[in-house]
Chains A and B, each alone.
Chain A
Amino acid sequence: MSVLVFTENWDGKFKKLTYELVSWASEVAKMINGTVTALSIGSVAEGELEKLGNYGAGKVLTVETPALNTLDSQAYAALLSEVVLKEKASVVILSNNNMGKAVAPRLSVRLKAGICSGVSKLPLSTDPFTVYKRAYSGNAFSRVVIKSDIKIVTLAQNSFGIIENPVNVTVEKANVAVDNSLVHTQVKDVEKQSGKILLTDADIVVSGGRGMKSPDNWTPLLELAEALGAATACSRPVSDEGWRPHEEHTGQTGKIISPNLYLAVGISGATQHLAGVSASKYIVAVNTDKDAPIFEAAQYGIVGDAMKILPQLAEAVKHIK
């Protein structure tokens, strides 16, 4: 029996979430007396594949073909299902991000394997296979039993953590055929914002709300983010007003993120906003209104004027780094 990990890379390196997926997989492998196999699609830098062994992957399978340079969920799911069957995997783990959401449900139908998305812990039991996931946009958690022989799980990012668990690792080419006839997605145009920290993969996120008062006031927030090595985000009114790009909108209808630290500046903390950030490890709020609901969700808070506080925070960060 094995646990199969669907890895993801960015810019030639594995994303942090990949190490988290492998860590989860190797703990599950211990529970079912199995092994961990990781599937890597696309090219990564020299030495990257072996790194997966540090977290418990005994075998790394690679697939490199131009046909898969574009995400085509149908072709990806077909390839992955072939690997699952060849490896006799009983558990498949993907991230609960755009990629995982595109591929995992298709895999579920292909293999007639039950899926649970957004799992945040190890299985509570492996027989019956019971997992724990976020529900009602963070207002509840549910225990879900996956009844099929093969189980598919997508892991909520940053919910489990990375655990070192070095094993000997072998790297080999996956002996599977990519079905080109399934690749239907044609890319017409790409718009990339390079050199930025991915909001969904960031450890620290600094986010601004309407309390920032004007798009012209963002400079101190960006400077604090830069000092912290953080990604930047915003609340819905801010992106609706066009003060910040839509890609930054976090909340129920925007991006759902779970960084280690979420610093909310001038954000009141409406339910819909919290639904997108409540899985963060720490929430810190800066707001002029001491009764703002954000302080109920936050572990640390400052009641005061962001324009005065942000530069001092940035200064303090530079001081300790």
Chain B
Amino acid sequence: MKILVCISNVPDTTTKIKFSEGDSSIDTTGVQWVINPWDELSLTRALELKDDPSSGIKSVTVAHVGPVSSEPTIRKALAIGADDAIRVNAGAADAYFVAAQLAELVKKEQFDIIMCGIESSDHNGSEVGAMIAEFLNIPSVSAVSGITPENGIPVITREIDGGREKVTVPAPFVIIVQKGIAKEPRIASMRGIMTARTKPIKVVEPVAGESLTQIISLEKPAPRSACKFIDADNPAQLIELLKNEAKVI
């Protein structure tokens, strides 16, 4: 079986993002780019599965839709351990466009398990994974916190209201992964970094696709009011303020 891990290239989550009011994208000067945190966990789990002979996973490929400038991030995924990578040479116009591109790759290369992070930390969309599945008319499972082979069949753990359940779906399928899928992101070893240099990144041109949405501008969140401090000797005052001033209890 072959796994495809879809990755986004996002600003490091500790970066203070900068933009001018009304801009439609951020100022990328000085931004550190990283693999989207959930995609990194998803890649980690994919590699763990490949390490487990009972999983039947033979290869882990990463895919990314983006310009050549995102190749350092793809290279990081290869250094962590992905076997190879595919970059669709196009700007990520919107989730619909990106999902159409990735669905095309799955169709061509016949992947069995497609893994996507629950959202990217930039647009917080949470859309691409399930869209790929619908383009291909195959099952998708969301809010996935685990995938483990049991008697050769991948059993998926997903979060549901007030608990979790273990489910199976026939392959090929898409899982949209979240917290719990892997403990810690795997870190590239020195050897991994060296071998990543020679691993292939296949570049493919996009298929015709459209975008259905467009970001027209970014705004800064309204500043929060300054914190009102309550004397530690009189905590009851906090409860009174929450009841009578904030009116939330």
Using a CB–CB cutoff of 8 Å, the interface residues on chain A facing chain B are 10, 70-74, 77, 96, 98, 101-106, 108-110, 112-118, 130, 133-148, 184-194, 196, 198, 203-204, 228, 246-247, 249, 252-255, 260-261, 271-272, 275, 278, 281-285, 295-305, 308-309, 312-313, 315-317, 319-320
Q: Once the chains are docked, how many angstroms separate the CA of A77 from the CA of B135? A: 12
A186 touches B14 (CB 8 A): no
Residues of chain A within 8 A of B228, CB atoms compared: 299-301
* B179 on the A face (CB < 8 A): yes
Main secondary structure of the interface of B (DSSP, over half): mixed
B242 touches A284 (CB 8 A): yes
- A selection of 10 A-B contacts at a CB cut-off of 8 Å is A101-B142, A102-B176, A117-B124, A130-B216, A143-B218, A146-B213, A185-B167, A187-B165, A252-B121, A261-B249
List residues 94-136 of chain B with CB under 8 A from any CB of chain A.
94-96, 99, 118, 121-131, 133-135
Q: For residue A293, give the distance in angstroms from its CB to the closest CB of chain B.
A: 11
Question: Provided the pairs A10-B161, A136-B121, A186-B169 are in contact, do residues A316 and B236 lie with their beta carbons within 8 angstroms?
Answer: yes
Most chain-A CB neighbours within 10 Å: which of B26, B126, B135?
Answer: B126
Question: Provided the pairs A105-B127, A192-B162 are in contact, do residues A261 and B217 lie with their beta carbons within 8 angstroms?
Answer: no
Q: For residue B98, give the distance in angstroms from its CB to the closest CB of chain A.
A: 11
Who on chain A is nearest to B94 by CB? A114
Residues of chain B within 8 A of A295, CB atoms compared: 227
Identify B219's interface contact among A101, A143, A189, A313, CB under 8 A.
A143
Question: Provided the pairs A186-B168, A261-B248 are in contact, do residues A147 and B212 lie with their beta carbons within 8 angstroms?
Answer: yes
* B215 on the A face (CB < 8 A): yes
A-B pair count, CB < 8 Å, reads 277
Who on chain A is nearest to B117 by CB? A253
List residues 128-170 of chain B with CB under 8 A from any CB of chain A.
128-131, 133-135, 137-143, 145, 155, 159-170
Identify B141's interface contact among A73, A138, A247, A315, CB under 8 A.
A73
* B232 on the A face (CB < 8 A): yes
Residues of chain B within 8 A of A98, CB atoms compared: 142-143, 159-161
Identify A112's interface contact among B123, B180, B212, CB under 8 A.
B212
Identify B170's interface contact among A118, A138, A184, CB under 8 A.
A184
Residues of chain B within 8 A of A146, CB atoms compared: 212-213
Q: Once the chains are docked, how many angstroms separate the CA of A272 from the CA of B218? A: 21
Residues of chain A within 8 A of B241, CB atoms compared: 300
Who on chain B is nearest to A279 by CB? B221
Residues of chain A within 8 A of B240, CB atoms compared: 316, 320
B162 touches A73 (CB 8 A): no
Q: For residue A81, give the distance in angstroms from its CB to the closest CB of chain B.
A: 10
The 4 tightest CB contacts between A and B, nearest first, are: A304-B232, A114-B212, A102-B142, A109-B134
**0/1 per residue, B207-225, Cβ < 8 Å to A?**
0000111111111110011
* B190 on the A face (CB < 8 A): no
A246 touches B236 (CB 8 A): no
Who on chain B is nearest to A98 by CB? B143
Given contacts A105-B128, A142-B123, A295-B227, 7 further A-B contacts (CB under 8 A): A73-B130, A117-B126, A140-B220, A143-B217, A146-B213, A254-B179, A299-B246
Identify B162's interface contact among A103, A116, A193, A281, CB under 8 A.
A193
A188 touches B166 (CB 8 A): yes
Residues of chain B within 8 A of A254, CB atoms compared: 179
B124 touches A105 (CB 8 A): no
Most chain-A CB neighbours within 10 Å: which of B131, B176, B179, B213?
Answer: B213
Q: Once the chains are docked, how many angstroms separate the CA of A109 from the CA of B228? A: 47
Q: Once the chains are docked, how many angstroms separate the CA of A305 from the CA of B6? A: 45
Question: Provided the pairs A113-B212, A116-B213, A315-B236 are in contact, do residues A300 and B230 lie with their beta carbons within 8 angstroms?
Answer: yes
Q: Once the chains are docked, how many angstroms separate the CA of A103 from the CA of B127? A: 9
